[in-house]
Amino acid sequence: MKKYFIALVSICLFISTTFAQPSKPKPPFWDDVQTIKKYDKMFAPPAHPVLFVGSSSIRKWDDAQWVFAKYNALNRGIGGAVTNDIIYYLNDIVFAYQPRQIVLYVGENDLMDNVSTADSVFNRTVKLYRAIRAQMPEVPILYIGMKPSPSREKIRDAEIDANLKIKSFLASEKNTVFVDIMPLMLKDGKTQPQLYLGDMLHMKKEGYTIWEKAIKKYLIKS
C-alpha cells in the first residue's frame, strides 16, 4: 500500500510540474518602475513637483532636479522607453506624484523599430496626452519635440514630420506648450556632435544646457 501511495504522489508531482503554467512575463521596464517606487518609499518625493518624464534623454538628465530645484523638479524618466511604455506606467510615474506641471520627452525610440512612422508616433502621443488629460484635465504639459541625434540620421525626416504633427495638435489644446528643440541643436541645418556623448545619441552637459534655456521660461514655480 505504501508503495502505491508513493507512486501516486510521484505521478501527481510529475503532472503538476509538466503542466504547470509558465509565469507571465513582466512588461517592459517593470523592474525599473518597481525600483522607482521603492526609492520613493525611502526618500519622499517633493509635493506637486514639476515632473520630468519620458525616455533616456530625460532619465540621463542627471542634474535636472538641481538645475530646476526652485521649481521642485522631479525626474522620473525611463531609459529606453517608448510612448506606449509611458502610457502603461502613468499611474506609477505620473499620477502618483500629482504634479503641477509635466515636462515630457518621448517618441524618438518609437521610430527605431523599423515599423513605426511619424503618424504612429503622433497617434500614440495623442493617446498619451488624452490619457493624462482624463485624470489631470488642467495640469500644464510641456512637450519637448524630438531632438536631432547624430546616430539617428535615418529617422530625421520622420522626426521632423512627427514634430510638426504633434506641434499642430498641441497648439489647439489648453495648458500645453510645444518646445521645438531640433533647430536649436542644429547649426546650418547640420547636427553638432560636440553636444553628444560617444554614442552620438545621449547628450553632454552642453546639450542639456540648450534644453534648459529652451524650457525654463515655461516652467511653473511653486
- Whole-angstrom CA distances from 43 to 46, 50, 77, 79 are 9, 17, 17, 21
CB distance 9 to 49 below 8 Å: no
Domains and CATH numbers, the chain: 31-218 (3.40.50.1110)
Confidence at 23, pLDDT banded by 50, 70, 90: confident
Query: Grid coordinates in use for 202?
Result: 545621449
Under 8 Å between Cβ of 144 and 211: yes
pLDDT mean over 58-66: 96
For the stretch 107-144, pLDDT in tens is 999 999 999 999 999 999 999 999 999 999 999 999 99
Q: What is the mean pLDDT of residues 142-166?
A: 98
Q: Answer yes or no: is pLDDT of 1 > 70.
A: no
What local confidence, expressed as pLDDT, does residue 16 receive? 45
pLDDT at 221: 87
Q: Quick check: 168 and 122 in contact, CB under 8 A?
A: no
With 80 as the cut, is the pLDDT of residue 206 above it? Answer: yes
Question: Other C-beta atoms within 10 Å of 189: how many?
Answer: 7
Q: Which residues contact 81 (CB under 8 A, 6 or more apart)?
A: 28, 29, 54, 55, 56, 106, 109
The whole-angstrom separation of Cα 143 and Cα 195 is 21
pLDDT for 195 equals 98
Q: How far apart are CA 84 and CA 47, in angstroms?
A: 26
Which pLDDT value is given to residue 18?
A: 42
Measured CA to CA, the distance from residue 221 to residue 99 in angstroms comes to: 12
pLDDT for position 22 = 64
Binned at pLDDT 50, 70 and 90, residue 31 comes out as very high
pTM for the full predicted model = 0.89
Q: Which amino acid is at 175?
A: N
Q: Which pLDDT score, from 0 to 100, does residue 24 have?
A: 83
